[in-house]
Amino acid sequence: MRYTGHLDLQRTWERTFRRAGLPLAYTQGYNPRPRLQLSPALPLGCTSECELIDIWLETPLAPNEILTRLKDSAPPGISLSDAQPVPANDPALQNQVTSVEYRASLPDRLTEADLHASVEQLLQADSIQRSRRGKSYDLRPLVESLVLMSGGSAGRESLEMTLASREGATGRPEEVLLELGLDPAECLIQRTRLLRPPPQESQAN
Amino acid sequence: MLVEEVERKLERILPRVAKPGRYTGGELNQILKDWDRVDIHVALAFPDIYDLGMSNLGLTILYDILNQRENTLAERVYLPWIDMEAAMREHELPLYSLESKHLVRNFDLLGISLPYETLYTNTLNLLDLAGIPLLSSDRTENDPLVIAGGHAAHNPEPMADFIDAFVIGEGEEAIVEIVEALQAWKNKGTSRSSLLRELADLWGVYVPSLYRVHYTDVGTVSHTESIDAAAHLPVIKRIVPRLGQPVTRFIVPYIDITHNRIPIEIMRGCTRGCRFCQAGMITRPVRERSVDQVLDAIEEGIRQTGFEEVGLLSLSSSDYDEIVPLVNAVSSRFAGQNIKVSLPSLRIESVSVDLMDALQGQSSRSGFTLAPEAATERMREIINKPVSTEQLLNTAREIYSRGWKTIKLYFMIGHPSETLEDVEAIAHLCKAVLAEGRSVIGKRARVHAGVSTFVPKPHTPFQWVPCDTFEQIKAKQDLLRRELRGQGLKLNWNDPRETMLEAWLSRGDRRMGEVIYRAWQAGARFDAWQEHFAYEAWMQAFDDVGLDPTFYTHRERPIDETLPWDHIDVGVKKKFLTEDYLWSLQGRTRVDCRERCFACGILPKFAALRREHPGEIWECPEVRSPACKQTETIPLVPA
């Protein structure tokens, strides 16, 4: 499941609604698209405990009914926690979320002491020039916080990061790990929280 | 290697490869059984990547049948893409199954789907990645039994060295008998060769190691000899008397694959008798599913998968008896669910436009596909696809006037007796179709021509004819590129070298095995993928083995030559194919054989089976016998 890209995830949701027999609304026109919006794209390979989805249904149904039917129809790897109605004219989730928290479990050979210095150095820097896919950018302003924690899952050290998630300014957890001299492929990265300035809960309409 | 170790290695490898979702399994509707609680473990493999293999209906059917058996499990195996293969070899991770992550070499049975010939080097690569000896003769009781089936297997000889047993024809019942034989053999604990003999005795199973091929002085096949009492001659293809319940529980991938749809086979076989078409000859007799069965399967398929598309599959959809009622029922029952219904392989007539009209509703009408296959009426008579140019243009006008902007036209070059004028006519016909479009919708009209090159396939009326040479194909394609240009026109064609490869592999004899082996050793794989096709490796392999590729492709074979696949009996008599070939040379055509039986041989071959299953289960007409006998002289080498 964690290797499912953003577009494929949208399709996975569309199929889940169809299996559940829930009347998902579609856009008008020659190429009707399902009316659903996901929270900012989860980087490939990351897991998450906090995704949001906005959906429009053709006919109103009780949130509990929707939740129950989705739970029965969701594929392995997706579990649903809550459904709530939201105002139809709320801004898109993409625009509501401003920052995202991630937790990276570090390889078990590493201890807090090994990383302490490099984390401090990153936080002290004014600017960190990196290049990704041939484009150079400054990583530093995208990192809002960075905290080393011990005793995470299976006793591993972990790194908690809060990264910016705004249009044109999205921090990627694997870039932070690379900057710290870590191999992202050796760290399990989980998204733990989506931060939205006026706090709201997950939803369905 | 334990499952846990496979998973550990994957944790490290997957973040570094493209599209890792191909290699994880765990999708909705996959079936994962407790390995230790079943006796027979079957790995079902498609020798290309996940994206393609997941759409293979044959393996899906076998997966369903095998997993319904309490004592059997079936899991999926696909070939890793180049980057993943390199990572697996680097980390010494052998090929594993997607469901339980057991190594393929620990399964009891490896079943490989071979729908087309350009998968042969991939098949060797698959065995190699699995750590299974490539040659059947090198395998022991500790290796899985390696079987293969599919359309390409109707000439099994080029792959005879690598496959322990082929299933010729339909696998639904044969796979169960094979698994039962395997289980009985496991219980007895006898030698591998005794298992192979048991299998050879099953209807439709061909065990190549129990046959020896003899050659003449000029290198053609003299005869194929059975060297074991259990090895039948000929090997008669397997069929099921009627199509069973269609599969509805399809695995729903997390990633985008080639066909994201519910495939429902509405009909098997084809009664049109196009002479170039191998599928039309080897899948006889025609059997249909009822409209109700199809509708129920669609409904259940949607409930189980949520797929956004349904494909109603057959070789010639317009010929399905109840096609209009089916399409009307589908469009009324599933309207408003945002489900696309595709109906491939429609005939060139206005009713096809009505059908598409009913199915597509108001959704986008991007392209409408027609396959005239040849551009002149003379050529279409030779290949027995008689459609008049006038009818084609009328249909085209109808398509444009109903809102489609693009018509895709499929042609083949290289048909027997084709001249450059016949090829040039392709350009003229495309322009004529475009002119119809312009008269209806103006400058928005488009014509896309897909021009492939004909390869004479085994078990067809054209099996004796030579392929065009590289130079002939080049000249024809150059002509098309010159003539078929201008606004609104687009042309696609195949690399002639790929056509040559397809021809060697489909027309080869048992000696081709060594060529395939050496080409694979020299790096040939993913031959069906243009960017990976290694022509030089193939030419070098022919050279090393001392075989001449043109012997297989450019030689007109005399009617009385023993062909490498003659010991495989697909139910259609060689006498019928010969007669049909001669008819083609005279420009004589045959009508749809639902209307009139041309005695292809399928009815007498399976007379007993049909008697056991009375009623109109096959689309063959009632044959009155004795028919009036006609004598026809068959020249040994046609003029």
pLDDT digits (tens, 9 = 90+) for B116-133: 999 999 999 999 999 999
Residues A141 and A102 in one domain: yes
Which of A:105-164 have CB within 8 Å of B? none
* Average pLDDT value for residue range B610-615: 87
Q: Cβ separation of B27 and A76 shorter than 8 Å? A: yes
Q: How far is CA B71 from the centre of its chain?
A: 30
pLDDT higher than threshold 90 for residue B337: no
Q: Which residues of B touch A79 (CB under 8 A)?
A: none
* Average pLDDT value for residue range B358-367: 73
- B366: contact with A, CB 8 A cutoff: no
Q: Cβ separation of A26 and B338 shorter than 8 Å? A: yes
- A43: contact with B, CB 8 A cutoff: no
| C-alpha dihedral, B348 to B351 to B355 to B356, nearest 10° | 40
Minimum CA–CA partner of B260 in chain A: A11
Q: What is the pLDDT of residue A91?
A: 82
Q: Distance (Å, rounded) from C-alpha B315 to C-alpha B384?
A: 15
| Distance from the B336 Cα atom to the nearest Cα atom in chain A, whole angstroms | 10
Angle made by CA atoms B303, B308, B311, in degrees to the nearest 5: 90
* Average pLDDT value for residue range A106-130: 85
B41: left (phi over 0), alpha (psi -120 to 50) or beta: beta
Average pLDDT, chain B: 94
- B256: contact with A, CB 8 A cutoff: yes
The dihedral sign for the CA sequence B464, B465, B469, B470 = negative
pLDDT higher than threshold 50 for residue A28: yes
Q: Which residues of A touch B249 (CB under 8 A)?
A: none
Q: Which residues of B touch A13 (CB under 8 A)?
A: none
Minimum CA–CA partner of B304 in chain A: A19
pLDDT higher than threshold 90 for residue A143: yes
Residues A21 and A56 in one domain: yes
- A94: contact with B, CB 8 A cutoff: no
DSSP letter, residue B285: S
Q: Cβ separation of A18 and B308 shorter than 8 Å? A: yes
pLDDT digits (tens, 9 = 90+) for A38-84: 988 999 999 999 999 999 999 999 999 999 999 999 999 999 999 99
Give residue B517's identity as a one-letter amino acid code. Answer: Y
- A10: contact with B, CB 8 A cutoff: no
Q: Distance (Å, rounded) from C-alpha A147 to C-alpha A116?
A: 9
- A13: contact with B, CB 8 A cutoff: no
Q: Distance (Å, rounded) from C-alpha B169 to C-alpha B171?
A: 7
**Range name among A186-190, B29-33, B112-116, B245-249 with the lowest pLDDT average:** A186-190
Q: What is the pLDDT of residue A114?
A: 76
DSSP letter, residue B345: S
The 3-state DSSP class for residue A197 equals coil
Q: What is the pLDDT of residue B45?
A: 98
Structural domain range at position A13: 6-44+51-93
Q: Which of A1, A14, A184 sits opposite B15 (nearest CB)?
A: A184
Q: Which of B276, B236, B212 shows the shortest CA–CA distance to B464?
A: B276
Q: Which residues of A touch B21 (CB under 8 A)?
A: 3-5, 8
In this prediction the ipTM stands at 0.90
Is there a domain that residue A190 lies in? yes
> What is the strand order of the sheet B489-493 is part of?
B367-373, B406-413, B446-453, B489-493
**Run of H or E residues at B424:** helix B420-441
Minimum CA–CA partner of B309 in chain A: A15
Is there a domain that residue A25 lies in? yes
Q: Which of A134, A121, A1 shows the shortest CA–CA distance to B30?
A: A1
Cβ atoms of B91 and B17 closer than 8 Å: no
Residues A101 and A150 in one domain: yes
Which of A:157-196 have CB within 8 Å of B? 184-186
From 3.30.460.10, 3.40.50.280, 2.120.10.80, 3.40.50.720, which CATH number describes the B3-236 domain? Answer: 3.40.50.280
Cβ atoms of B147 and B167 closer than 8 Å: yes
* Average pLDDT value for residue range B415-429: 96
| Distance from the B330 Cα atom to the nearest Cα atom in chain A, whole angstroms | 17
* Average pLDDT value for residue range A11-15: 96
DSSP β-bridge partners for residue A104: A159, A189
Q: Cβ separation of A19 and B260 shorter than 8 Å? A: no
Residues A191 and A116 in one domain: yes
- C-alpha pair distances (Å), B131 with each of B75, B304, B604: 18, 36, 45
Q: How many domains does the structure of chain A reveal?
A: 2
Q: What is the pLDDT of residue B528?
A: 82
Q: Cβ separation of A186 and B364 shorter than 8 Å? A: no
Minimum CA–CA partner of A188 in chain B: B11
Q: Distance (Å, rounded) from C-alpha B396 to C-alpha B445?
A: 11
Q: Which of B255, B307, B364 sits opposite A31 (nearest CB)?
A: B364
Residues A65 and A133 in one domain: no
Q: Could you tell me how many CB contacts below 8 A there are between chain A and chain B?
A: 74
pLDDT higher than threshold 80 for residue A112: no
Q: Cβ separation of A8 and B254 shorter than 8 Å? A: yes
| Phi/psi at B212 (5° precision) | -120, 135
Q: What is the pLDDT of residue A204?
A: 45
**Range name among B87-91, B252-256, B401-405 with the lowest pLDDT average:** B401-405
**Range name among B103-112, B349-358, B438-447, B595-604 with the lowest pLDDT average:** B349-358
Q: Cβ separation of B363 and A17 shorter than 8 Å? A: no
pLDDT digits (tens, 9 = 90+) for A149-166: 876 556 678 899 999 998
* Average pLDDT value for residue range B421-426: 97
pLDDT digits (tens, 9 = 90+) for B285-302: 999 999 999 999 999 999
- A5: contact with B, CB 8 A cutoff: yes
pLDDT higher than threshold 50 for residue A202: no
Is there a domain that residue A201 lies in? no
* Average pLDDT value for residue range A130-138: 90
- CATH architecture, range B364-494: 2-Layer Sandwich (3.30)
pLDDT higher than threshold 50 for residue A205: no
- C-alpha pair distances (Å), B260 with each of B253, B346, B391: 8, 21, 34
Q: Which residues of A touch B302 (CB under 8 A)?
A: 18-19
Judge residue A189's burial from the number of C-beta atoms within 10 Å of its C-beta, 0-12 exposed, 13-18 middle, 19 or more buried.
buried
Is there a domain that residue A20 lies in? yes
Is there a domain that residue A19 lies in? yes
Residues A188 and A123 in one domain: yes
Q: What is the pLDDT of residue B530?
A: 74
* Average pLDDT value for residue range B232-259: 96
pLDDT digits (tens, 9 = 90+) for B252-278: 999 999 999 999 999 999 999 999 999
Residues A117 and A186 in one domain: yes
| Distance from the B11 Cα atom to the nearest Cα atom in chain A, whole angstroms | 8
pLDDT higher than threshold 70 for residue B352: yes
Is there a domain that residue A203 lies in? no
Q: Please, which pLDDT band fits residue B634 given cuts at 50, 70 and 90?
A: low
* Average pLDDT value for residue range B422-430: 97
Residues A101 and A189 in one domain: yes
pLDDT higher than threshold 70 for residue A200: no
* Helix, strand, coil abundance in chain B, percent, nearest 5: 40, 15, 45
Q: Which of B28, B338, B339 sits opposite A76 (nearest CB)?
A: B28
Locate the domains of chain B by residue range. 3-236, 364-494
Minimum CA–CA partner of A185 in chain B: B15
Residues A14 and A72 in one domain: yes
Token representation of residue B541: 């392999």
The percentage of chain B sitting over the pLDDT mark of 70, rounded to a whole number, equals 97
pLDDT digits (tens, 9 = 90+) for B129-185: 999 999 999 999 999 999 999 999 999 999 999 999 999 999 999 999 999 999 999
Q: Please, which pLDDT band fits residue B41 given cuts at 50, 70 and 90?
A: very high
Q: What is the pLDDT of residue B633?
A: 61
Q: Cβ separation of A75 and B28 shorter than 8 Å? A: yes
Q: What is the pLDDT of residue A31?
A: 79
Q: Which residues of A touch B261 (CB under 8 A)?
A: none
**Range name among A90-94, B107-111, B134-138, B412-416 with the lowest pLDDT average:** A90-94
